[in-house]
Amino acid sequence: MPEVLVLVDHDGEHVNKSTYELLAVARRLGDPGAVVVGTPGTATRLMESLARYGATSVHAAESKDAAEFLVTPAVDALELAVRDTSPAAVLVSATTDGREVAARLAARLGAGLLIDAVDLDSSGVVTQIVFGGSYTVRSQVTHGIPVITVRPGAFEPEEHPGEAVERTITLPVVDPATSARVTDRRTAPAGDRPGLTEATVVVSGGRGVGGADGFELVEQLADALGGAVGASRAAVDAGYYPHRFQVGQTGKTVSPQLYIALGISGAIQHLAGMQTSKTIVAVNKDPEAPILDLADYGVVGDLFAVAPQLTREVAARRAVG
Amino acid sequence: MNIVVLVKQVPDSGAERTLSRTDHTLDRAGAELVLDEINERAAEEALRLKETADAHITVVSMGPDSALDAIRKVLAMGADRGIHICDDRLHGADLLTTAKVLAAAVRTVADVDLVLAGDAATDGGASAVPAVVADLLALPQVTHVRQLDVDAGRVRALRETENGQTTLDAPLPALVSVTEKINEPRYPSFKGIMAAKKKPVDTVGLDDLLPDADGFLVSRTRVVEAVPRPPRAAGTRIADDGSAGRQLAAYLIAQKLV
Ligand SMILES: Cc1cc2nc3c(=O)[nH]c(=O)nc-3n(C[C@H](O)[C@H](O)[C@H](O)COP(=O)(O)OP(=O)(O)OC[C@H]3O[C@@H](n4cnc5c(N)ncnc54)[C@H](O)[C@@H]3O)c2cc1C
C-alpha cells in the first residue's frame, strides 16, 4: 500500500482531534504517515497517540526554527516527505494555516489542490460543499500528487492501534529573508468550550444581542448545551465578540447538528457559513427576518426573554440526566 | 517604496451564485461584479502607507475585460498605475495558475518592496493565493494581518486566525495579506475618479507573462459532478407568548438534541 501523508496539528504536547480525523480518512487511500513539524522531541511525545489512531509511520521534522517561522517549515517538511515517500495523497486540516501550507506545497509539487473536503472515496474523488452550501461538488486531481485540505469535523476519529515506525526528515535552515518570524503568540484561550468548527452545537449572537454584556446570555445557552459560541459580522464589527468567532462567508464555516441564531437577521453572507447545519433554530423579534425562512424552528420573540428561559430548561433537563 | 496591490473582481456576495452548466466554473454572466471588499482594504492600507512615505502603487488584477473596472476603482482611490492580466486561456484557472500569473506580473514591476492583497476572496477558495505568490516570489509570507506597521525596511504585523493572534516580523520585500478588520476603505472622490481615467493601465496576456510556459495548465483538478443543494424550508414557527423558551426546549429534547 502507498503511504498517505498527514500533517499533524499539535500544540507541542498533544495532537489535535482534527489530525485523528485525517488519519481515519487517510486509511481509505493507503497507509497513514504522520508528519510532525516541531521543536526537537515533539515527535517522540506524540508517537504513541498517532500510532493509536492509525499512523503506520511518523516522520519527524524537527528543528529549533520550526516553531519560530510561519508556515514555511511545514511546507519544507511536507515537500521533503513527499520526495521520500511518493505518497498517494497529502492530507492537511482545512484551518487557516493548513490551507496555506497545502497550497504552497501543491505549488512546489506542481500538483492539484482540493480544498475543504467533506468526503473522500478510495479513488481519490473528493466531495466539497461550495458557495455557502448551495452546491455539492465532486472533484478529482488530474495532475500530480493530490494535496487535499479536509474540513475539521467532517470525519470521525477512529482508534486503530498499531506500531508506527519513526523516520527523520532533515529540515533546511530557514532563510529569514524569505520567511516571517513569529515574535509573539497569544494563543486563543481554549476555555471549556469546544472549537467553533468542531462543535456539535453552535449558539451564535448577532447585532440583536445588543452588546458585549448581552453575549453572556449567548455563552450561558452555549454552555448549557455543551456548544461553541459564534457571532455575526455585525456583532464582531460592533465589538461585542472577537473576530475569530465570526460565522459566515468571511468567517468560519460551521456545520453542527444544531445551530441557534439569536438576534441574527440571516444575511446571505451569514447563511453561507451555517446553512449546512443539520438543525437550525432562530430567535428574532422581526417576523420578516430572512433567517426565519430557513429555520427548522423559528421563534418570533425577544431573545432576552427566550434565551434565558431555554437555558434554564436545558440546564434542568441536563441536571436530571 | 514600490507597492503592488493584488485585487480581484467578484460577483456581489449579496446575490445568488451559480455554476456554469458547461464547465462548472463560476457563472459571471448573470452576476453583478464588484471589487472584492477585502481587496479594497488592501488598497486602503497601501494608500495609508503612501500618506506617510514616498510610495508608488501599482494595482494588478487578473480577469476578463470587466476587471478593468476594479483596477479603475483602486486608481480612483489613489493608486498610480494598473496592470490588467486578461487572457481567455486563463478562464477557470486554478489557485496555482492564478498565483503563477500574478507572481509573474509582480516581477514586471521594478524593485517591489511590498505586495499587498486581501486575505480571502468572497467568491470562495482556499484563501491561499497570497501564500503561494509569496512562495513563488521567495518573499516572507505575512498573511491574515489585522494591524500593519512598515518601518525601517521591516514589516511588523498582527496576524489573526482561529488559533489566536501572533505577531510577525519580516524584512522587506515582503508579501502581506489583510483581513476585513484592518481598516475602513475610503470612497474615491470625484477628483480621484476623473484622475483615474488618465492613469496608465497596461493590459498583458499569458504570452507576456509566461512566455515559455510549455505545457501550460489551466487547472490541475477536474469537477466530476456539481449538484445544486435543495434550498432549506422553514419548519415550525411560533410567536413568543411567554413560553417560547420552554416550547423550544421541548422541541430540542424531542429531536434528541439535548
Ligand atoms: C463581502 C461581505 C462579507 C460578509 N461576511 C459576513 C460574514 O462572514 N458573517 C456575517 O455574519 N456577515 C457577513 N457580512 C455581513 C452581512 O451582510 C450582514 O450585515 C450581517 O450578517 C448582519 O449581522 P446581524 O444579523 O447580526 O445584524 P442585523 O442584520 O442588524 O440583524 C440583527 C437582527 O437582530 C434582531 N433583533 C434585534 N433585537 C432583538 C431582540 N431583542 N431579540 C430578538 N431579535 C432581535 C433584528 O430583528 C435583526 O433581524 C458580510 C458582508 C459583505 C458585504
Is residue B15 scored above 90 in pLDDT?
no
Adjacency order of strands within the sheet including B236-239: A228-231, A201-205, A258-262, A279-284, A297-300, B236-239
| Chain B interface test: which of A126, A306, A320 (most B C-beta within 10 Å) | A306
Distance A233 CA to ligand 1 centre (A): 6
**Domain check: are A153 and A273 in the same one?**
no
* Residue A119 belongs to a domain: yes
Furthest CA-CA distance within chain A: 61
* Residue A292 belongs to a domain: yes
**Domain check: are A115 and A162 in the same one?**
yes
A270: part of which helix (H) or strand (E)?
helix A268-271
**Domain check: are A163 and A205 in the same one?**
no
From A54-63, A180-189, B175-184, B206-215, the region with the lowest mean pLDDT: B206-215
**Domain check: are A157 and A208 in the same one?**
no
Distances (CA, A) of A244 to B29, B86, B159: 34, 36, 11
Q: Per the structure, how many domains does chain A have?
A: 2
Q: What is the mean pLDDT of residues A216-235?
A: 97
Strand partners, B150: B155
State the CATH number of the domain containing residue A137.
3.40.50.620
Question: Alpha-carbon distance A251 to B43, whole Å?
Answer: 21
**Domain check: are A154 and A247 in the same one?**
no
Give residue A260's pLDDT band: very low, low, confident or very high (50, 70, 90).
very high
Give residue B202's pLDDT band: very low, low, confident or very high (50, 70, 90).
very high
A253: part of which helix (H) or strand (E)?
none
Residue A262 C-alpha, separation from nearest chain B C-alpha, in angstroms: 12
A199 touches chain B (CB under 8 A): no
Q: What is the mean pLDDT of residues A94-120?
A: 96
Q: Are A60 and A43 in contact (CB under 8 A)?
A: yes
* Residue A284 belongs to a domain: yes
Distances (CA, A) of B158 to B130, B155, B169: 16, 10, 9
**Which residue type sits at A240?**
Y
In this complex, which of B229, B237, B250 lies closest to A135 when CB atoms are compared? B229
**Domain check: are A254 and A126 in the same one?**
no
Please list every residue in chain A whose beta carbon sits closer than 8 Å to the beta carbon of residue B243. 309
A274, closest residue in chain B (CA to CA):
B232
CATH architecture of the domain with range B2-209: 3-Layer(aba) Sandwich (3.40)
Protein residue closest via CA to atom 28 of ligand 1: A265
* Residue A184 belongs to a domain: no
Q: Are A219 and A229 in contact (CB under 8 A)?
A: yes
Q: What is the mean pLDDT of residues B40-50?
A: 97
Q: Are B96 and B220 in contact (CB under 8 A)?
A: yes
Please list every residue in chain A whose beta carbon sits closer than 8 Å to the beta carbon of residue B235. 295-298
Phi and psi angles of residue A207, each rounded to the nearest 5 degrees, phi first: -60, -30
* Residue A190 belongs to a domain: no
- Cβ–Cβ below 8 Å for B142 and A280: no
B17: part of which helix (H) or strand (E)?
none
Please list every residue in chain A whose beta carbon sits closer than 8 Å to the beta carbon of residue B231. 294
Distances (CA, A) of A296 to A277, A281, A309, B123: 10, 6, 19, 27
Of the three residues A149, A169, A189, the one that is the final residue of a domain is A169
Strand partners, A319: none
Per-residue HEC secondary structure of B180-229 comes to CCCCCCCCCCHHHHHHHCCCCEEEECHHHHCCCCCCCCCCCEEEEEEEEC
* Residue A181 belongs to a domain: no
**Which residue type sits at A40?**
P
**Domain check: are A151 and A205 in the same one?**
no
- Cβ–Cβ below 8 Å for A142 and B221: yes
* Residue A230 belongs to a domain: yes
Please list every residue in chain A whose beta carbon sits closer than 8 Å to the beta carbon of residue B41. none
B11, closest residue in chain A (CA to CA):
A131
Please tell me whether residue A120 adopts helix, strand or coil conformation: strand
Domain that holds residue A39: 3-169
**Domain check: are A29 and A155 in the same one?**
yes
A179, closest residue in chain B (CA to CA):
B140
A311, closest residue in chain B (CA to CA):
B245
Residue A163 C-alpha, separation from nearest chain B C-alpha, in angstroms: 31
Domain boundaries, chain B: 2-209
- Cβ–Cβ below 8 Å for B164 and A186: yes
Give residue B29's pLDDT band: very low, low, confident or very high (50, 70, 90).
low
- Cβ–Cβ below 8 Å for A113 and B220: yes
Question: A57-84 pLDDT, tens per residue?
Answer: 999 999 998 999 999 999 999 999 999 9
Which A positions 30-59 lie with beta carbon below 8 A of chain B? Answer: none
pTM of the model: 0.93
Q: What is the mean pLDDT of residues A163-191?
A: 92
Identify the DSSP state of A278: S
Which pairs count as long-range contacts for A271-274, CB under 8 Å and 24+ apart, including other chains? A271/A132, A271/A133, A272/A131, A272/A132, A272/A133, A272/A248, A272/B13, A273/A132, A273/A247, A273/A248, A273/A249, A274/A202, A274/A204, A274/A230, A274/A247, A274/A248
Q: What is the structure's pLDDT at A39?
A: 96
Q: What is the structure's pLDDT at A1?
A: 87
**Domain check: are A8 and A129 in the same one?**
yes
- Cβ–Cβ below 8 Å for A258 and B252: yes
Give residue A198's pLDDT band: very low, low, confident or very high (50, 70, 90).
confident
**Domain check: are A140 and A243 in the same one?**
no
Give residue A133's pLDDT band: very low, low, confident or very high (50, 70, 90).
confident
**Binding-site residues, ligand 1, Cβ < 6 A:** A 206-208, 232-235, 246-251, 263-265, 267, 269-270, 273, 283-286, 289, 302-304; B 13, 37, 122
Distance A231 CA to ligand 1 centre (A): 9
* Residue A177 belongs to a domain: no
A67 touches chain B (CB under 8 A): no
**Domain check: are A163 and A229 in the same one?**
no
Distance A232 CA to ligand 1 centre (A): 6
